[in-house]
Structure 1
Amino acid sequence: MNNSINQKLQFSSLWVFVLFNTLFRDIHEFLRPGVIENMNLGLSNGVQVSEYTLFIAAFVLQMPLLMFVLPFFLRLRNYCKLSIFVGITTFAGIWFESPHDMDDWAFAAFKSLTIAFILYGNIKLLIRRED
């Protein structure tokens, strides 16, 4: 298999792991008492959620989703640059919504570790390609 394709598959798989981790954490949150009631009231952790906040959250969530598909349409160098930007943004998003309990900390830690692997791999590829 072409080395470039193999690297793209690896990065795509890591982004899928981040997305599944996000999905399972969100499903897991529904099991907490009062979460659905607060969502119906437009509250998240006791804070009123505005349309603007929902828009920003949707945009931030779409970025890792795009990173699952984009490696197959972009040159590897361009993908690496974009992946670094999205990785940093996603990492900030993980910790912006600070974890509340132990399971949230575990999900955040695994997502952060995965993004660290993504960032390391992309930076390493960019440095190697500049030589």
Structure 2
Amino acid sequence: MNITKQLMTMDMKAKLSTVWIFVLLNIIFRDIHEMLKPGFIEEVMTGIINGNQLTEGLFLIGGIMIEVPIAMVLLSRVLKYGINRWVNIIAGATTIAFIINTGVTDLDDTFFAIIEVMALSLLIWQAWKWPNPEHSHGLKT
């Protein structure tokens, strides 16, 4: 592979991975921020948070939700162009759906959700517009 094509591909992979790290940190810090809310510990002790019964199924869904951004940090860097592009678009849209369907219960949830959706929208747009390195700048392999 030509060095220019390698640099173009590595640059976009790094950008996508960095956006996933940004989204992941926002999700984590939103959760930490939620734990600081007065009465949160008492809510956890009852087994009901924001009106939702804590169940194994709910924990599994939460695990899947957070695993998508975690996996995408790595996958964005190691997958080849074609599959990388589509996996980022699909994972980005799926994560937006998770964020929206989780529901926001207060102002800080809304703030973090807006930031996460904006970042993921940028990620989807960047992946969509990512030029094929095989066809960029008139380079041929």
Q: TM-score, normalised by structure 1?
A: 0.91
Q: What residue number does 1:40 align with?
A: 45
Aligned pair 1:8/2:13, yes or no?
yes
Flag the structure with larger Rg: 2
Q: What residue number does 1:93 align with?
A: 98
TM-aligned CA deviation for residue 95 of structure 1:
0.9
Amino acid at match of 1:37: E
Q: What do residues 51-78 of structure 1 show as CA deviations (whole Å, max 9, x unaligned)?
A: 1111111012101101101122210221
Q: What residue number does 2:113 align with?
A: 108
2:128 aligned to which of 120, 123, 127: 123
TM-aligned CA deviation for residue 41 of structure 1:
2.4
TM-aligned CA deviation for residue 49 of structure 1:
1.9
Aligned pair 1:27/2:64, yes or no?
no
Q: What residue number does 2:79 align with?
A: 74
Q: How many residues align?
A: 129
Aligned pair 1:56/2:31, yes or no?
no
CA distance in 2: counterparts of 1:88 and 1:123, whole angstroms: 12
TM-aligned CA deviation for residue 42 of structure 1:
2.0
Query: Structure 1, unaligned stretches of length 5 or more?
Result: none
Query: Structure 2, unaligned stretches of length 5 or more?
Result: 1-5, 136-141
Identical residues among aligned pairs (%): 32
CA distance in 1: counterparts of 2:50 and 2:25, whole angstroms: 22
Q: What do residues 67-97 of structure 1 show as CA deviations (whole Å, max 9, x unaligned)?
A: 1011222102211111111111110111111
CA distance in 2: counterparts of 1:29 and 1:17, whole angstroms: 18
CA distance in 2: counterparts of 1:63 and 1:113, whole angstroms: 17
CA distance in 1: counterparts of 2:81 and 2:54, whole angstroms: 38
Query: Is contact 2:9–2:81 with CA below 8 Å preserved after alignment?
Result: yes
Amino acid at match of 2:21: V
TM-aligned CA deviation for residue 124 of structure 1:
1.3
Amino acid at match of 1:96: N
Aligned pair 1:65/2:93, yes or no?
no
Q: TM-score, normalised by structure 2?
A: 0.85
CA distance in 1: counterparts of 2:34 and 2:124, whole angstroms: 28
